[in-house]
Structure 1
Amino acid sequence: MKRYTARRASALMSGLAVVSAALLLTACGTSAAAPSETKAQAKLGDNEGQVSLLAWPGYVEDGSNDPNVDWVSAFEKDTGCTVTSKTYGTSDEAFNLMKTGEYDVVAASGDASLRLVAAGDVAPVNTDLIPNYSGIFDFLKMKAWNSVDGVSYGIPHGYGANLLMYNTDVVSPAPTSWDVVFDKSSDYAGKVTAYDSPIYIADAAVYLMAHQPDLGITNPYALDETQLAAAVDLLKAQRPNVSEYWSDYLKEIQAFETGDSVVGTTWQVIRNSLSEGTKAEVVLPSEGTTGWSDTWMIASKAKNPNCAYAWLNYIASPEANAAATEYFGEAPSNIGACDFTENPDHCATFHAGDADYASQIWYWSTPIAKCLDGRTDVTCTDYAAWTTAWQEIKG
């Protein structure tokens, strides 16, 4: 796995290292994820010869970052669609870039996907036109973050869990609960780390679901004002003990290697990327966790819709899905991808296809006023409210 880290670091550094809190100020609220007025494409036409992609760093590799890492050239050769791509550092940045109308396709995480639907920036996807859709794990299809009212808005790409990482020399006994970063965070004051995004409020909500059931939280992305206030209070109490909020995963690697951080939220790829001998392990705590399932979505005003569909089908193929998700460091979404990973242990490490493991993950979903838990007697807080709250938490 270390071999992939060295290659991936150069690709991710440029995108993730430039993430700034200023981008949070551009976040837009979403009152409801209303279906787009754009209709799904009924049939395919001739490929237009080009396609423009917007994605996380490491999702669209054409050999320019590393000549040994290239799954784009095969697509271009097979389809005649020349790929141009741009990477982004946060979901808020992706949301704003899609407003420009310059991109045919976007790889969106769940904290952006419903905003894109509600804004009319992405179109429904006709999965009948994507043969490789049949190979996607069923537990990733037609979910709250990639569909609205029974209509698909994209193709699942890769997924993963936000895990708890801890220094095995300092944090003892080995934790099984998120309490070490919340109610017991003072035990590690100045050594706690947390993810830097308004969506981290959902991590507090997951903890409260288990420890304060009287709040009535049943979905960490569906919080009324009272429930949001409780999550904010928990995070404000945590704040004095936090050494750093991270969005650049390379910084968290450094913090755990130096001992500046000893416990906090992480990704499996971060644990895998630590230098040999670093005293750190990861666990999925008993309360469950948040996570991501990214979705390839087509712009509602795509200039190259046929090449866009060609890309969605290609990147969902076992071979391409294996290459992209292994390079990035996440579980693939295609059932057959595990037969094509270079590292034979990749799918086991990332729990690919493990429905029981996946059931413990609350995948990022955009908070909207229409409660995602189905409640109709209250209005839920939207992403704009979460962004304001996050600014108050960090101070």
Structure 2
Amino acid sequence: MRTTTRRLGVTLAVCAALVAACSSSNNSGGGGTTAPPKMEPLSALGDGEGQLNLIAWAGYAENGSNDPKVNWVGPFEQQTGCKVNVKIGNTSDEMVQLMRTGQYDGVSASGDATLRLIYAGDVAPVNTKLVPNYDTISAFLKDKPWNSVNGQMYGIPHGWGANLLMYNTDVVKGAPDSWGAVFPGAPEYKGKVTAYDSPIYIADAALYLSKTKPELGIKNPYSLTEDQLNAAVDLLKAQHANIGEYWSDYTKAVQAFESGTSAIGTTWQVIANMITSDNKVKIATVLPKEGSTGWSDTWMVSSKAKNPNCMYKWMDYITSPQVNAQVAEYFGEAPAQTKACEFTSDKTFCDTYHATDSAYAEKISYWTTPQKQCVDGSGDNCTAYNEWVDKWQQIKG
């Protein structure tokens, strides 16, 4: 792996808490409301207001201060006259709270935050016609449960990735192709199993159960009734006895595999790339036959934005082919922009991250905030994210 890729991995240390957030109120997408407040998107793009205040994951809005060679904010400021001020969000929960202050124009929100922002009225619907580069964003990222409501987009997709199964090939034999290796098969690797440290990880267990126990009736891992949630929790409690380490800091996941503390568990492609580049241990990754969970990040406009024109200009710029390629490579994820692959410095990058592979993307159940009003539209008897938080604490003890 090139040194630039190792630097992009470092940015993920902050991003690692992507889904550590709790639902904090009934109108936050965690349970209470059935529709977002009515508001109209921007109807026409005007001149930039001169500045732009963003909340972003580390690595999404680089201005050269971390690395002089990594700077896409500077050219945007020169092109538009919009001076960019960036507040790094350390967790989705922090991003939600910051957006509610009304001090920011936009946010790079992950799927566990987006519905909370939409249903609370913190973000506005987006007029995609004012974002020309939206046309060539991957179709499998548009009009999805985590970034739209009733066919109305509430943001512009930015980048995405899958949660994979990784294993040490010297310890784990037989090339597992199922999440069963870390659920019913976990005792075989007792003390060396690792898992993502977040309530949203409950969805991983639910996804596995949806394929292996169809009698539970799980159709969507984020739309769980009380009984379905309890079934997933029971599976995770059984797994807990074999867990050596839960990780949210990607560096600890790398270290655990390189030291031999972990031998099998959940990973991101960028983590696997870093371990492979160091050649300290032999590892392999697979997207299991049951599919996987994953993330899709979305740039969203504040409903209280003081600089909406600059925000729209930013959304178009950050998803332009050349810039989206830079961000994706630096950060370590698949770009949302289909034309970005023409501009990656590593010509195998998009193949490694399956950037335009719709069949691969269909195997991913992207993080979506669980709500009482089921996010798959199946009813109003689902469990909300705050219930998942309580259950996660019970699982870990």
Quickly name the TM-score band, shorter chain normalised: over 0.9
| Deviation of 1:38 (Å) | 2.7
| Matching residue of 2:245 | 244
| Matching residue of 2:2 | 2
Question: Unaligned regions of 5+ residues in structure 1, if any?
Answer: none
* Alignment partner of 1:53 is 2:54: yes
Q: Which of residues 379, 382, 391 is equivalent to 1:380?
A: 382
Determine if contact 2:20/2:198 at 8 Å carries over to the other structure.
no
| Matching residue of 2:219 | 218
* Alignment partner of 1:303 is 2:303: no
Question: 1:375 and 1:281, CA in 2 relative to 1: closer, same or farther beyond 3 A?
Answer: same
State how many pairs are aligned. Answer: 392
| Deviation of 1:276 (Å) | 2.0
CA distance in 1, matches of 2:346, 2:19: 36
CA distance in 2, matches of 1:325, 1:381: 34
CA distance in 1, matches of 2:215, 2:355: 34
| Deviation of 1:97 (Å) | 1.9
CA distance in 2, matches of 1:68, 1:335: 24
* Alignment partner of 1:390 is 2:384: no
Match runs of 1:1-395 below 5 Å: 1-13=1-13, 15-16=14-15, 24=22, 29-32=30-33, 34-274=35-275, 275-376=278-379, 378-395=380-397
| Deviation of 1:184 (Å) | 1.0
| Deviation of 1:95 (Å) | 1.6
Determine if contact 1:30/1:115 at 8 Å carries over to the other structure.
no
Aligned letter for 1:149?
N
| Deviation of 1:140 (Å) | 0.8
Determine if contact 1:222/1:373 at 8 Å carries over to the other structure.
yes
Question: 1:33 and 1:253, CA in 2 relative to 1: closer, same or farther beyond 3 A?
Answer: farther
CA distance in 2, matches of 1:64, 1:172: 45
CA distance in 1, matches of 2:177, 2:394: 29
| Deviation of 1:33 (Å) | 5.5
CA distance in 2, matches of 1:188, 1:240: 11
| Deviation of 1:156 (Å) | 0.5
Determine if contact 1:153/1:297 at 8 Å carries over to the other structure.
yes
| Deviation of 1:113 (Å) | 0.5
| Deviation of 1:391 (Å) | 1.1
Question: 1:391 and 1:104, CA in 2 relative to 1: closer, same or farther beyond 3 A?
Answer: same
Could you list the per-position Cα deviations for residues 218-249 of structure 1 after superposition, in whole angstroms to 9, with x for gaps in the alignment? 10010011100101111111111111111111
CA distance in 2, matches of 1:363, 1:73: 32
| SS of residue in 1 equivalent to 2:241 | helix
| Deviation of 1:138 (Å) | 0.9
CA distance in 2, matches of 1:193, 1:103: 37
The Cα RMSD (Å) is 1.8
Determine if contact 1:194/1:242 at 8 Å carries over to the other structure.
yes
| SS of residue in 2 equivalent to 1:252 | helix
Determine if contact 1:2/1:272 at 8 Å carries over to the other structure.
no
CA distance in 2, matches of 1:366, 1:22: 12
Determine if contact 2:128/2:134 at 8 Å carries over to the other structure.
yes
CA distance in 2, matches of 1:141, 1:24: 26
Per the normalisation by structure 1, the TM-score is 0.95
Aligned letter for 1:364?
W
Could you list the per-position Cα deviations for residues 266-313 of structure 1 after superposition, in whole angstroms to 9, with x for gaps in the alignment? 000000111224211100001000001110000110111110001001
| Deviation of 1:11 (Å) | 3.7
Question: 1:250 and 1:98, CA in 2 relative to 1: closer, same or farther beyond 3 A?
Answer: same
| SS of residue in 1 equivalent to 2:175 | coil
CA distance in 2, matches of 1:309, 1:81: 11
Per the normalisation by structure 2, the TM-score is 0.95
CA distance in 1, matches of 2:5, 2:252: 14
- Of stretches 34-43 and 307-316 in structure 1, the one that deviates more from structure 2 is 34-43
Aligned letter for 2:234?
D
Aligned letter for 1:268?
Q
CA distance in 2, matches of 1:6, 1:290: 24
